[in-house]
Structures are given as C-alpha cells and as structure tokens.
A and B are shown apart, each in its own frame.
Chain A
Amino acid sequence: GAVVSQHPSWVICKSGTSVKIECRSLDFQATTMFWYRQFPKQSLMLMATSNEGSKATYEQGVEKDKFLINHASLTLSTLTVTSAHPEDSSFYICSARDAGTGRNFGPGTRLTVT
C-alpha cells in the first residue's frame, strides 16, 4: 500500500523549454504532497508543499513562478519547471502523506537540461 508513482522517470530538455513532472498516489488519497530536489552527492531539499485544491507553499529560496505546482485532485500533483536552465538539472522526487504518518516517496524524475 501507499504507493507513489512519478512520470517521467527521466527527461532531457533544451534550455528555455518547460517540463512537467507528474506525481500520483496509486492506492490512497493524498491531500498533501511534497516536492523535493536532490543534487548530486547532496541530500534532499524540500521545495514546496502541495495541497489539494489550494495554492502550494514554497520553501524560502524556491521561485514559485519558475516551479509551478498544481494539485488538482487527491491523487495527482504536477510540478512544471518553466524556462529550464542547466542549473535546474537535478533529481526531483515527490512524496505523499498517507492516512498515517508515513511519508512515501515516488521513484523520482531525473531532469537534464542541455
């Protein structure tokens, strides 16, 4: 139970383009989803908290106009990296909060911007 999926698992895009990443809770409803970013050899950093039906809450230093988050249903949150640049290349991982206190992570999306 409490399975989280992400799509795509990896993506390569050109500088200046936008990329959308989907995060789905497969067997439970998640009112809250979280988006993290992990650069090589570093730990996970929380980017934003996504709440179904309301605006996302962004962590300090994360540009909300660059990283657009939409949580339109109880099973789907999307992260759109707009006007991507090489420094946005990273491992993006979502997490969903289940009915308990568990925090299960999706498999991640590796973004490479050329």
Chain B
Amino acid sequence: QKEVEQNSGPLSVPEGAIASLNCTYSDRGSQSFFWYRQYSGKSPELIMFIYSNGDKEDGRFTAQLNKASQYVSLLIRDSQPSDSATYLCAESGGGADGLTFGKGTHLIIQP
C-alpha cells in the first residue's frame, strides 16, 4: 500500500516570507510527484510536477525531489495571503497510474 505523508498543519507563515512544505513517500518505485493547491470546496489546481532529482522552479514555486531520501518539498517565495490553502502532495508510479495523495498541509499566510 503506497503512502504519502504530509504534516497536516496548519503552517503559518508571514506575508512575503518563504513557505516550505514537505512530503515523504513510501514506494521507491514512484516515478512522478505532483503538488496541488486546493481551496476549500474546490477542486485541486496543479502547481507543478517533478520527476527528476533536484530542483524545478516555476515562478514563485520551487519543487525539490530527493529520491534517495524519498522526500519531496515545495517552496513558495514571497508568500501572499492568496496562497492560503491546502497543499496536496501526490505520487504516481507511472504514466498510466492514478495518483496517491497525501492528506495535505493547511497553509496560512498572515498579512
């Protein structure tokens, strides 16, 4: 049974600071990793995905993957109040596989 672990939070970060979200996964065969943002009552929005070790940057967001440690993280720079949401980490074993989600981290950006 694949597992994706996240700290549920809430994680409180001052506006303008860097928010750091972490995720670990159990299956060494996992290939791709996804970060989604979900506002209350809404469907998840894809922030970015990563499948190679190292960092991947997209605007204010940086995903980091360390397959040896089975660890994925998401950094949000210059945090804004609109970034307040639940952030879901997910993994996939392959292209045709569905995603296994963590329970999400509730992020609060304090103005």
Contact surface of A with B, Cβ cutoff 8 Å: 32, 34, 36, 42-46, 49, 59, 93, 95, 97, 101-108
A100 to B102, CA, bound (A): 23
Q: What is the bound-complex CA distance between A43 and B23, given in angstroms? A: 14
18 other contacts beyond A43-B104, A46-B100, A95-B98, with CB at 8 A cut-off?
A: A43-B88, A43-B101, A44-B99, A46-B98, A49-B96, A49-B97, A97-B96, A101-B49, A101-B95, A102-B46, A103-B34, A103-B92, A105-B36, A105-B44, A105-B46, A106-B43, A107-B42, A108-B43
The answer on a CB contact under 8 Å between A101 and B32 is yes
Of the candidates B46, B88, B98, B103, which one forms a contact with A34 in the assembled complex, judged by CB atoms under 8 Å apart?
A: B98
**A42: B residues at CB distance < 8 A:** 103
Write out the residue numbers on chain A whose beta carbons fall within 8 Å of the beta carbon of B43. Answer: 93, 105-108
Contact between B96 and A32, CB atoms less than 8 A apart? yes
What are 9 pairs between A and B in contact, CB < 8 Å?
A: A32-B96, A34-B98, A43-B102, A44-B88, A49-B97, A101-B92, A103-B34, A103-B92, A105-B45
8 Å CB contact of B49 from A59, A95, A102, A107: A102
Instruction: Check: B71 CB closer than 8 A to any chain A CB.
Output: no
A104 proximity list for chain B (CB < 8 A) = 46
Contact residue among A43, A49, A101, A108 (Cβ-Cβ distance under 8 Å from B98)? A49
